[in-house]
Amino acid sequence: MLGKMTKQMLTGNASIAWGVRLSDVDYIPAYPVTPQTEIIESLSKWIREGQMDAGFVTMDSEHSMITAAGAASATGVRVFTATSSQGLMYGFEMLYTVSGWRVPFVMANVSRGLSSPITLEPDHNDILAARDTGFLQIHCETCQEALDSILIAYRLAEDKSVLLPAIVNMDGFYLSFTREPVEIPNKEIVREFLPPYKPTHAFFRASQPMAQGVAVLGGHIYSYFKYQMHMANNNALSIYKEVSEEFKETFGRGYGTVEGYMLDDAEYVLIMSNSFSAMGKAAVKRAREKGLRIGLLRLRLLRPFPEEDIREALKGRKASAVIDQNISVGKGGILYSEIAGVLYNEKQRPLLLSFIGGLGGKNISDAEFDFIFDAMMNAYSTGNVPQPALLYTEAELEEMERLKRVAGKG
């Protein structure tokens, strides 16, 4: 049932805020950081105007903010919070801590490159640093997807076979400040999909004393609880499929764990994530017009990592190239390593190329995409896979040389 829906021009930030508003969230501990701040400003305004019945508190840091979010969730309310880059790093200790509390709140991360050098523009070193924490991770390409993913994230996180916090990620500036037409679903219909929060697991109350977050002595106890988290996170894979199916039935739009674009008959596959995938899709379309059989695989659910779906999507391809919008300094692209791990035991696997691109929001031009396509085809025909490379144009290098001269280092 689709019901009456309205479409509005919304930024990515406003889309997230709308997702939260529709989710019957009870409590929002917050802390400002660009480019996320518009989310918490919108929510705070709605609460002050009486359009949302939730508590809102500006904390003294993201470390405190994530603590308060986890503690409130452990007490039995539905919680949302948001951060970005430096803020995520500042609260990092608590990411591991609260996921160990098994508290199902949702946090938005608006990706932004990490200092230093300090910058405002996006890449994914912030969010990928959190990949081992226990949080579920959904990465978005569009504003509509950002709104919808908040609803999906609560369903996933709160499922009793999961009970882990979830992060919905989107790119700063490219999505956070970009306006797109977004369908704001009807609240009554959202309630059918995501009913108000009535947790049945343990939480603090006088008649039911509980010790939460207690210490353990001994590796066998620690291992047991850690691995429980791993299994719960993996449970979210099958739950995701049920939930996204139900989402599609309810709202008429669906999202897989991964998204294929012009993939069906593709011989070569570009692998990307988040909003820069839109540039990749445009490049794939152009390549198709030239008769090249290229497609794109966008990674959406990053934790749990949908290994089976990735393997399936890459089966029978000639070559594939990962554009990592991140850099593990001293190693290279993070997602490249993860995908290589997924493919290693396949008898017939595509060649896998690695590119680092879009760091700190650097544009990826048509020429750079064409370069990648050529590299994939060349690798297949010669059997030689090129070394991992940074996407960087000559014009950009010249400009950099000029700036260095200005800085007196020419």
Q: Site residues (CB under 8 A) for another protein?
A: 26-27, 29, 53-55, 57, 59-61, 63-65, 67-77, 79, 93-94, 97, 198, 204-207, 209-217, 221
Q: Round to whole Å and give the CA distance between 287 and 294.
A: 7
Residue 142 zone, left/alpha/beta (φ > 0; ψ -120 to 50; rest): beta
Burial classification of residue 109, based on how many CB atoms lie within 10 Å of its CB (0-12 exposed, 13-18 middle, 19 or more buried): buried
Question: Distance from CA of residue 310 to its chain's centroid?
Answer: 16
Nearest distance in Å: CB 26, another protein: 5
Report in angstroms how near the CB of residue 210 gets to another protein at its nearest: 5
Number of C-alpha atoms within 13 angstroms, CB side, residue 205? 8
Quote the CA–CA distance of 104 and 122 in Å, as a whole number: 27
Helix 37-48 vs helix 12-22: angle between axes, to the nearest 10 degrees? 40
**Distance in Å, CB of 116 to another protein, minimum:** 22
CB of 101 to another protein, least distance (A): 8
Residue 190's H or E segment, with its range, is helix 187-193
Q: Rank residues 16 and 95 by Cβ distance to another protein and give the closer one.
A: 95
Residue (9 or 221) nearer to another protein, CB:
221
Nearer to another protein, 35 or 100 (CB): 100
Query: Measured between alpha carbons, how far is 66 from 380 in angstroms, rounded to an integer?
Result: 47
Write down the least CB distance from residue 62 to another protein, Å: 10
Residue placing its CB nearer to another protein in the complex, 49 or 60:
60
Q: How far is the CB of 228 from another protein (least distance, A)?
A: 13
Minimum CB distance to another protein smaller for 79 or for 297: 79
Indicate if the alpha-carbon torsion angle 220, 225, 227, 231 is positive or negative.
positive
Is 21 or 300 the residue whose CB approaches another protein more closely?
21
Which of 5/202 has CB closer to another protein?
202
CA distance 82 to 112: 13
* Cis peptide bond upstream of 185, omega within 30: no
Nearer to another protein, 1 or 211 (CB): 211
Q: How far is CA 89 from the centre of its chain?
A: 16
**Smaller CB distance to another protein: residue 215 or 406?**
215
3-state secondary structure (DSSP) of residue 296: strand
Structure tokens, 101:
């509390």
d(CA 37, CA 95): 20
Pair of tokens at residue 357 = 């691109």
Q: How far is the CB of 33 from another protein (least distance, A)?
A: 16
Nearer to another protein, 1 or 206 (CB): 206
Nearest C-alpha neighbor of 295 from the set 303, 18, 315, 367: 315
CB 127 within 8 A of CB 188: no
Phi, psi of 366 (to 5 degrees): -55, -45
- Residue 303: CB minimum distance to another protein, A: 22
In angstroms, what is the minimal distance from the CB of 271 to another protein? 36
In the complex, the smallest distance separating the C-beta of residue 110 from another protein, rounded to whole angstroms, is: 22
